[in-house]
Amino acid sequence: MTTKVIHEASLAEVNSLSENSAEFVIRPLYYGYGNTLGNSLRRVLLSSVKGAAITSFSIEGSTHEFTAIPGIREDVVDIMLNLKAIRFKVHTDAPIELNLEIKGSDQSTKDGDPRVVAGDIKLPAEVEIANPHQTICHIDDPKFTLKMHFIVETGRGYLTIEKSSQERVHSDMIALDAVFSPVLRVRYKVENTRVGQDTNLQQLTITIDTDGTITPQEAFEEAAAVLVNQYSALAGGTTVESAPAPGSFAEEEDTGLMLPIEELGLSARTANALVNNDIKTVRDLVSLSDSDLKELKGFGTKALDEVKEKLTELNI
């Protein structure tokens, strides 16, 4: 009885749907692995891809989140919700302190509506904002000057407001709960597929939407790397035999290299000389140089020419 090898997954297609959305097609998969890979990748994509967010802030004239600030249309709770929607790309792991200072008469205007937006925040070189038009608040008094201070940190997953409050860089700032994940949405579907006569295979299609601070391809690869690290730590030194995905170039190439010497169509004298020297497959044969072959017992120049001609015919 033969043992069926679990072949490696193959990323067959990457289809860009928009700037921040892409579809990844993995096929063919060993039966049942569509849901196995799809569910694990989706969970890691949504929970464990690195991102950045505001974790605390302060507004001059406000001491807590239940304050109404004269001159600003929104109260502090509304401003908090707006701050949580700002998407940052940070090129350092250290907390970053940002500042905003703007006068009411200098607000950005869109559709006749003056407002303070994320693009008004002063940024150092290591910080970018993916959605600079995100509203922060509206200043109703043209003479009022808004002064704000922010702490932006990197992380993974979700940071509760209790945890954020305990770990504040400045104790007098207002803590925010933060969603670090740059992945907004992940969907996947599993379909049956076939390669040649093998119909017991599956295809997995994963669609990833991000916030613009990371590409879908980067998110996909980071999630896969996280899973590899976790499972490698658990596997210890144990390995499982695998094979290239059915129908892939690697499999076709590997199949050609594993061809027995007896099936190459060589003369009996040449084939016997190779087999007697423990060269049983094409892989064994191509691993040797011309000089190595000439040194084999019972293998001469004529046999070498025959072998080279046959390998040329097979495009090996």
223 and 155 part of one domain: no
Tell me the three state secondary structure of residue 137. strand
Tokens matching residue 291? 């000089």
The predicted pLDDT at position 260 comes to: 82
pLDDT by residue (tens digit) across 57-111? 999 988 777 778 888 999 999 999 999 999 999 999 999 999 999 998 888 877 7
Tell me the three state secondary structure of residue 53. strand
56 and 174 part of one domain: yes
Contact present, 100 and 107 (Cβ < 8 Å): no
* Long-range CB contacts (within 8 A, 24+) of 105-109: 105/142, 105/143, 107/138, 107/139, 108/133
Query: In angstroms, rounded to a whole number, what is the distance separating the alpha carbons of residues 255 and 5?
Result: 14
Inside any domain, residue 133: yes
> Can you state the angle between helices 268-276 and 301-313, rounded to 10 degrees?
100
C-alpha dihedral sign at 295, 298, 304, 310: negative
218 and 279 part of one domain: no
The closest of 146, 151, 214, 149 to 181, measured between CA atoms, is: 214
The predicted pLDDT at position 256 comes to: 58
161 and 264 part of one domain: no
- The tally of domains found in the chain comes to 3
The predicted pLDDT at position 2 comes to: 40
Pairing outcome for strands 51-59 and 174-175: antiparallel
Q: Which residues pair with 117 in a beta bridge?
A: 135
Tell me the three state secondary structure of residue 92. coil
76 and 124 part of one domain: yes
20 and 168 part of one domain: no
167 and 205 part of one domain: no
> For residue 70, what is the domain's CATH number?
2.170.120.12
pLDDT by residue (tens digit) across 17-69? 999 999 999 988 888 999 999 999 999 999 999 999 999 999 998 877 777 88
58 and 157 part of one domain: yes
Contact present, 130 and 152 (Cβ < 8 Å): no
Query: In angstroms, rounded to a whole number, what is the distance separating the alpha carbons of residues 39 and 173?
Result: 39
Tokens matching residue 219? 């998110």
Tell me the three state secondary structure of residue 271. helix
Chain-centre distance for alpha carbon 45:
8
pTM of the entire predicted model: 0.72
Residue 258 has pLDDT above 70, yes or no: no
Inside any domain, residue 286: yes
> For residue 290, what is the domain's CATH number?
1.10.150.20
117: number of Cβ within 10 Å: 21
111 and 148 part of one domain: yes
pLDDT by residue (tens digit) across 158-174? 999 888 878 776 778 89
57 and 105 part of one domain: yes
64 and 170 part of one domain: yes
> For residue 21, what is the domain's CATH number?
3.30.1360.10
Question: What one-character-per-residue DSSP string does 281-308 give?
Answer: BHHHHHTS-HHHHHTSTT--HHHHHHHH
Question: Residue 70, class by beta-carbon neighbours within 10 Å (0-12 exposed, 13-18 middle, 19+ buried)?
Answer: exposed
Residue 246: band (very low, low, confident or very high) from pLDDT cuts 50, 70, 90: low
Range of the domain at 171: 51-179
Inside any domain, residue 250: no
Residue 291: band (very low, low, confident or very high) from pLDDT cuts 50, 70, 90: confident
The predicted pLDDT at position 252 comes to: 47
